[in-house]
Structure 1
Amino acid sequence: MSRHAQTPHLSVTDSRGLPVRQVAYWREDGSESEARITAVQHDVGGRPVAQRDPRLFADASAPANLRTIYSLTGQVLITLSVDAGWRVTLWGEARQPLHGWDGRGSLRSIEYDKQLRPQAVFEHAGDGAPLCAERYAYAGSDPTFAVRNQCGQLIRHDDPAGTQLFEQFGLTGGIRTQSRRFLCSFDSPDWPVSLSERDKLLEDAHAATSYTRFNPLSEIIEQIDAREHRQLFSQTVDGQLREVGLQLKGSAPKTLVGAIQYDAQGHTLRETAGNGVLTTFDYAAEDGRLISLLRQRGNDILQDLRYAYDPVGNVLSVEDAALPIRYFANQRIEPVNRYRYDSLDQLIEATGWEACQTSKFSLIADPAAIANYTQTYRYDRAGNLLELTHNGPQRHGQRLLAAKHSNRCLPVRDGLEPGEEDLRNGFDANGNLLGLQPGQTFNWDLRNQLREVRLVLREDRSDDNEQYRYTADGMRVHKIRLIQTNAKTLMAEVRYLPNLQIRTHSGTGEMLQIISVRAGRSSVQVLHWESEPPKGNDNDQPRYNLNDHLGSCTMELDTTGQLISQEQYHPFGTTAWFAGRSEIEASYKTLRYSGKERDATGLYYYGFRYYMASWQRWLNPDPAGVIDGLNLFSMVKNNPLTYFDIDGRIREGVNEEYPAKATIKYFRAPQSSTPFSENSISNESTRFGFPDTPPLSSQVMSASPPSKR
């Protein structure tokens, strides 16, 4: 019997039309199918109060995955999640959140002005003193504000990473001028009321100021970053992106991508990069799915990706016809990856090719030996990937054990299975993982954001660690890595600004600017060294990142279209093969799987969460709640070839919309109303009480022109 035969998805509703059961039938081979039931219980008002996944539904002694208690006016008062712990929210008369508590004993409070705009946010750890984590200042109606369109707008925001100033707005509300100043210390700030006292907490350096210019339709036509590099955008008459250019400070402007053509559905058909590489896209006429992605330089074909799908849109194979069939160790190695799914569309088998070398890096001129691999995946009824079996030269096999009544998992190490006590101690009360491996521990802030990773623990002196700071919107803007040596402490620092990263290293004296540009369906990064460039690297070198259907950077090309590096990935993001013309040059690649940055910890930073490719799951529960399913740790519901994650909160199909958003850094415009209003809970049954982060629906200014598709 076929895997998908007689495996319908059923929905059961009560007399009010509310869904009370979802029945799916699971099968991965020709055996009998297994019913998996998701249950929802509603109160008399029709609101969901208890939700259970198939694993906990089958256990009569198990609690619900999520329980929700509402106020008389329908607002969420309490949420009890087996994955994310409990949250309690106290609301004001105008439905504004006043206080919020969580399972770690943290308290978060918001003060408002007479217009119910937030003035200050206070955070109180269970064992510490309350700190003012944020302060807000708004413009009045004075003519000096009016000339900059600031009246009533948020013009200063002191947040956990420093201070952001909004100095000028466009007629339609877009931010024209904004500045960022960083804190002197990496300690959590306690912002005083006095502006002068607040300024003393900031670095003496000048603010990093960026500028944006809009056309009459509010489309971005120019952006100037904090180092005065200009990005130029032009649109077609219907608002589609037509051309992107870059002018480095003191240099002439250059086109990075142009001649972009679209079909009637808004799909990109072709585009020409500034290095002469032509990219052509082909779509299936019947459903609009991408079936071919061809990149060529003149007559030379660099990449020819061909996609095949099953009837419901799951990716069955990806072939790179530009690569030859190779032979090694009595194996025929075809340049194709194939995938197999169960009846719930979970990936259960993947085949492809990978490098045989342990280091995984090889020179393009001296290619390393490669071999075929097969990966198989086993899940429990809740969708936890419990076992990955890897058959190939590399070692990526993994076994995880899930807690009895939650989706928190830990690996089996040296044959020792973690017990329930280990699983309780491996996470804090909010479900944040406390360590990836022995000797590497995680510290979390009160907003459930990763604050510090201790890479090497020492008893006699300081630890090696990597620390992170975030804005009030949850976006990372500062990263510091401290490495202890016998002589001194070395510090590697990254500051994230709109379209720009500033990287320094105290040990090597390196000072590097990385200018990031969205260029059509791909991206370009320009490396500008203020110090002497490393040997073999040209200053101001554009690196054209060529992405696959997931947004993963598979190739890097230089300004003449020559290959800098090339990378292949296993389905869940580990590196299968990595080659370049120079190891030093390739080491400056920053965008990897899904177009995300991979830190020295091995974690991928997505925006609101960190992803562990080695465990195939997220580091902590989804801050958006159960909007993407009751398993708050699962990565794209175990279908990583057909779906990608935008920012760590929700999955999106690769053929629903191209993942241009996956590599854009978001900089949210200030809001005149509270960012923690009732509107920030778009579905109150899916969020956990007191909101941790502003909603995706809040006003956003992206680092490149928004798509109009």
Structure 2
Amino acid sequence: MPLRNNRTYPHKIELRTYLKYCNGAETFYSYDPQRRRLQNLAVNAGGKTIMDNAYGYDVVSNVLSVVNKATIPEKGKAGGQMSHSYTYDALYRLSTANGTYKGADNKTASYTLAMGYDNMHRITSKKQHLTQSNVQFNGTLNAGYDLTYTYNNDEGKKFQLASVRDINYRTEEAPTDSTNINNGHKYTYDANGNLVYINTSRVKHDGKEDDKASEQKYKWDEENRLLAADENGFVSNYWYDADGERTAKTSGENEAIFVNSEFSGGSTGTARFSLYVSPYLVAGQGGKYTKHIYIGSQRIVSKLGDLASYGADPRRIPYAGNEADGVTVNYKDKYNQQLQSIKDNYKTFDLPYNGQDNPDYVNGKGFSSDDDTPEAAQARAMVKTRAGEAGTNERMQFYYHPDHLGSSSYITNLDGEVAQHIEYVPFGEVFIEERNNTWNTPYLFNAKELDEETGMYYYGARYYEPRLSLWMNCDPMEENLPSSSTYSYAANNPIRFIDMEGKIPFDKSVAHTRISSGFGIRKHPITGELKGHGGIDLATAGTGHDVHVLADGVVKKVGWNVKVDSKGNKTGYGRYVVVQYSDGYESLYAHLDKNGVAVSVGDKVSENDVIAKSGNTGGSTGPHLHIEISKGNILQKSNKIDPSSIPDLQLLLHPDNKEYYGGELSPVTVYGHAPTPMLLQPISLPKIEEIKINTQDKK
């Protein structure tokens, strides 16, 4: 394993402080002792400091600055010094951003960004300009755009784009009206809110407009998953498993010859191919593969290899499955079904399919050898083994050094040298990229894969377009964020929040993998009945994680609540803790480790204090933390507040505590809305069962 088991954590707060890879690279983390916010992130690799990020915040934890103070590398090396600064509007949406970069070989760059929003939290304008000197070539590059957004006025579609006016430029000269390109984009969505068509027009220098300069078309399935994309004839196809995770993608150009407007012939090729065997293995064309190794959900290293080095042939895999007892798989039929889906996609886009079928693949024509026999590939592998070449397979290893958002910033090789360096503008577009010719990661912003064929990031549940700074399809959990635009990314605050799956933006200080069950009516995971869910469930990677209190308060109750229904199903909170706050607010933390509670009734606790260990007690289908917030007695059923609507309970309860926050405080917001009593009015959930609490505090 490339990872050494030497991670250490500070007492109580379970935040990573140190990480070391087997290539010698070390990462150091330091935190603000009061707010537990990341203060510094430093990476040493190859005997040098390549990252030394210092973070600055305002009084409500919005990131104001990120400054990499590492020394400028020597001539010909990648890396350098980077400085970002950010401002926010009264609703804590990113308003402006500025950045400067200085690297080796007289490389310099800068960018500016200005955002505009309306009172529905929709982006109305985005103006971005960047300048590079000696980065991509010897000289100066000026590039940027000025986007103006308009939206659909129809009921139920007010968050969907209608059009965008796009004034853009890319020139070695100072940008002027003569260098500007004036584009207009018009957007069409399907009934589910997925983007299906973009028509781009262009105003020519003579003032006339070409109504169809380019077209982009998208096809979605009934689960709102992208099946295919047509980028002016370059078609990409996508497949998914039963859980909705992408399993394969292919892309290729479609060439056709017309004589007197009649089709004469053509060719449909495959330019790119990726097979996602699992999160840990991705195969590509020619039998090449990339093996990924993780710590939890963080990708730490990618290893490169090829099947031919082992004498492997993919034809053997179907045969193994076909010979299993009781299993009959017709791989020719499966091949034909997949091929037909590709042809159907071309038909949807009104494009002719002229691909060359390969029905002999299942019968023995593989892709990892040059001839038609797997035995020949194995024989060549034996020759390589005797010559000592096979031992070099997977020696090409690349280690990830991300920023606070998980974005790939520096990639080092097995020798600890920087192989790739990437900097970003706030919404995820690449600002600076330095790379070698060996291998370059496609996992960039938030460590998500950038699909070059569409320019979109794949997040699992959705696709994100960083230039527009919007999601391209509907939100599967939009009912959990009624106060936020369905298509906005990370509540328009992409420096503080991330969206791991394209569902709900999370503050990086929250230590959990996802919201496994939201607030409101749901199908109960144990009984199967429709009932009210008075809180949210935060899935954890196993049990025993520190549980932090949301705000300053007093422990009101430590209880044990387990019941068994008539069918033998176990229900109830299990081990739980209730904390009482000011103004009548309370919170409940449930399904804790039975013996992991670290507080007693009457204890005073401060925000972020550890009160217990996470567990799997009571009516639970897996390790998670259940959190409820209420105005009044939390053990009643009619006063619950959606916890996902309150990103900072401490701030809600202490808006005027300037001493606590260290300065003046702007109006507090909850995803763009002021947390007035009207917004946080407790609600009554129908069909939620009465909660009977054991009077014994601990058991």
Name the residue aligned to 1:517. Answer: 294
State whether structure 2 residue 148 is matched by structure 1 residue 399: yes
Q: 1:304, 1:520 → 2: CA distance?
A: 23
State whether structure 2 residue 174 is matched by structure 1 residue 322: no
Is 2:67–2:82's contact at 8 Å kept on the other side of the alignment?
yes
Matched residue type, 2:151: A
Matched residue type, 1:708: H
Q: 1:661, 1:303 → 2: CA distance?
A: 29
> Which is worse superposed, 305-314 or 518-527?
518-527
Name the residue aligned to 1:411. Answer: 164
In the TM superposition, 1:165-564 aligns within 5 A as 245=1, 255-264=2-11, 265-297=13-45, 299-324=47-72, 335-353=82-100, 369-392=107-130, 393-405=142-154, 406-409=158-161, 410-413=163-166, 426-436=188-198, 438-457=214-233, 464-484=234-254, 489-490=269-270, 492-505=272-285, 509-518=286-295, 523-531=300-308, 539-564=394-419
Task: Indicate how the Cα distance of structure 1 residues 615 and 651 shifts in structure 2: closer, same or farther if over 3 A, else same.
Answer: same
**What is the aligned counterpart of 1:591 among 443, 451, 459?**
443
Matched residue type, 1:615: L
Q: 1:522, 1:707 → 2: CA distance?
A: 23
Task: Indicate how the Cα distance of structure 1 residues 472 and 367 shifts in structure 2: closer, same or farther if over 3 A, else same.
Answer: farther
Q: 1:607, 1:661 → 2: CA distance?
A: 13
1:336-360 per-residue CA deviation (whole Å, 9 max, x = no partner) reads: 10000011100000000369xxxxx
Task: Indicate how the Cα distance of structure 1 residues 325 and 395 shifts in structure 2: closer, same or farther if over 3 A, else same.
Answer: farther
Task: Indicate how the Cα distance of structure 1 residues 612 and 488 shifts in structure 2: closer, same or farther if over 3 A, else same.
Answer: closer
Task: Indicate how the Cα distance of structure 1 residues 488 and 642 shifts in structure 2: closer, same or farther if over 3 A, else same.
Answer: closer
Name the residue aligned to 1:652. Answer: 506
1:372-402 per-residue CA deviation (whole Å, 9 max, x = no partner) reads: 2211100111111121112332224322212
1:571 positional shift: 0.1
Name the residue aligned to 1:708. Answer: 545
Task: Indicate how the Cα distance of structure 1 residues 338 and 698 shifts in structure 2: closer, same or farther if over 3 A, else same.
Answer: closer
Name the residue aligned to 1:44. Answer: none
1:513 positional shift: 3.6
1:471 positional shift: 2.4
> Which is worse superposed, 442-451 or 385-394?
385-394
Task: Indicate how the Cα distance of structure 1 residues 674 and 306 shifts in structure 2: closer, same or farther if over 3 A, else same.
Answer: closer
Q: 2:470, 2:33 → 1: CA distance?
A: 35
Number of residues paired by the alignment?
397
Task: Indicate how the Cα distance of structure 1 residues 707 and 611 shifts in structure 2: closer, same or farther if over 3 A, else same.
Answer: farther
Q: 1:613, 1:504 → 2: CA distance?
A: 26
**What secondary structure sits across from 1:307 in the alignment?**
strand
Q: 1:642, 1:401 → 2: CA distance?
A: 26
Q: 1:611, 1:455 → 2: CA distance?
A: 16
Q: 1:416, 1:519 → 2: CA distance?
A: 43
Is 1:492–1:503's contact at 8 Å kept on the other side of the alignment?
no
Matched residue type, 1:404: N
Q: 1:282, 1:398 → 2: CA distance?
A: 39
Task: Indicate how the Cα distance of structure 1 residues 611 and 488 shifts in structure 2: closer, same or farther if over 3 A, else same.
Answer: closer
Give the TM-score normalised by the residue count of structure 2: 0.52
**What secondary structure sits across from 1:626 in the alignment?**
helix
Give the helix-richer structure, 1 or 2: 2
Matched residue type, 2:545: K
Matched residue type, 1:500: Y
Is 2:49–2:71's contact at 8 Å kept on the other side of the alignment?
no
Q: 2:524, 2:92 → 1: CA distance?
A: 41
Is 1:494–1:501's contact at 8 Å kept on the other side of the alignment?
no
Q: 1:682, 1:470 → 2: CA distance?
A: 30
Is 2:471–2:489's contact at 8 Å kept on the other side of the alignment?
yes
Q: 2:514, 2:116 → 1: CA distance?
A: 31
Matched residue type, 1:514: K
Q: 1:676, 1:531 → 2: CA distance?
A: 51
Q: 2:83, 2:183 → 1: CA distance?
A: 36
**What secondary structure sits across from 2:223 in the alignment?**
coil
Q: 1:325, 1:385 → 2: CA distance?
A: 38
Is 1:325–1:334's contact at 8 Å kept on the other side of the alignment?
no
User: For the pair shown, which has the larger CA radius of gyration, 1 or 2?
Assistant: 2
Task: Indicate how the Cα distance of structure 1 residues 259 and 632 shifts in structure 2: closer, same or farther if over 3 A, else same.
Answer: same
Is 1:607–1:647's contact at 8 Å kept on the other side of the alignment?
yes
Task: Indicate how the Cα distance of structure 1 residues 321 and 404 shifts in structure 2: closer, same or farther if over 3 A, else same.
Answer: same
1:492-547 per-residue CA deviation (whole Å, 9 max, x = no partner) reads: 33222333333232xxx3532433433796521111122589xxx97442211111
1:627 positional shift: 1.4
Q: 2:299, 2:105 → 1: CA distance?
A: 26
1:298 positional shift: 6.6
Matched residue type, 1:277: A
1:680 positional shift: 10
State whether structure 2 residue 475 is matched by structure 1 residue 622: yes
Matched residue type, 1:386: T
1:707 positional shift: 8.6
Task: Indicate how the Cα distance of structure 1 residues 613 and 594 shifts in structure 2: closer, same or farther if over 3 A, else same.
Answer: same
Is 1:275–1:559's contact at 8 Å kept on the other side of the alignment?
yes
Q: 2:82, 2:539 → 1: CA distance?
A: 43
**What secondary structure sits across from 1:594 in the alignment?**
helix
Q: 1:522, 1:493 → 2: CA distance?
A: 22
Q: 2:509, 2:495 → 1: CA distance?
A: 11
Q: 2:120, 2:527 → 1: CA distance?
A: 31
In the TM superposition, 1:1-80 aligns within 5 A as none
1:453-511 per-residue CA deviation (whole Å, 9 max, x = no partner) reads: 01233xxxxxx311112223222122222334566622533222333333232xxx353
Matched residue type, 2:190: D
1:435 positional shift: 2.8
Give the gaps of 5 or more residues in structure 1. 1-244, 246-254, 327-332, 356-363, 458-463, 663-671, 685-695
Q: 2:538, 2:82 → 1: CA distance?
A: 43
Is 1:307–1:317's contact at 8 Å kept on the other side of the alignment?
yes
Q: 2:544, 2:298 → 1: CA distance?
A: 11
Matched residue type, 2:238: Y
Kindly, what percent of the aligned residue pairs are identical? Answer: 23
1:679 positional shift: 6.4
Q: Structure with the greater relative contact order (CA < 8 A, sep ≥ 6): 1 or 2?
A: 1
Is 2:250–2:270's contact at 8 Å kept on the other side of the alignment?
no
1:706 positional shift: 8.2
Name the residue aligned to 1:606. Answer: 459
Give the TM-score normalised by the residue count of structure 1: 0.51
Task: Indicate how the Cα distance of structure 1 residues 675 and 577 shifts in structure 2: closer, same or farther if over 3 A, else same.
Answer: farther
Task: Indicate how the Cα distance of structure 1 residues 323 and 453 shifts in structure 2: closer, same or farther if over 3 A, else same.
Answer: farther
1:652-709 per-residue CA deviation (whole Å, 9 max, x = no partner) reads: 1122238x779xxxxxxxxx9989956699589xxxxxxxxxxx96999x8xx78934
**What secondary structure sits across from 1:657 in the alignment?**
coil
Give the gaps of 5 or more residues in structure 2. 75-79, 131-141, 168-181, 201-213, 256-265, 310-367, 369-391, 516-522, 547-699
Q: 1:432, 1:675 → 2: CA distance?
A: 33
Q: 1:453, 1:646 → 2: CA distance?
A: 23
Q: 1:287, 1:502 → 2: CA distance?
A: 39
Name the residue aligned to 1:15. Answer: none
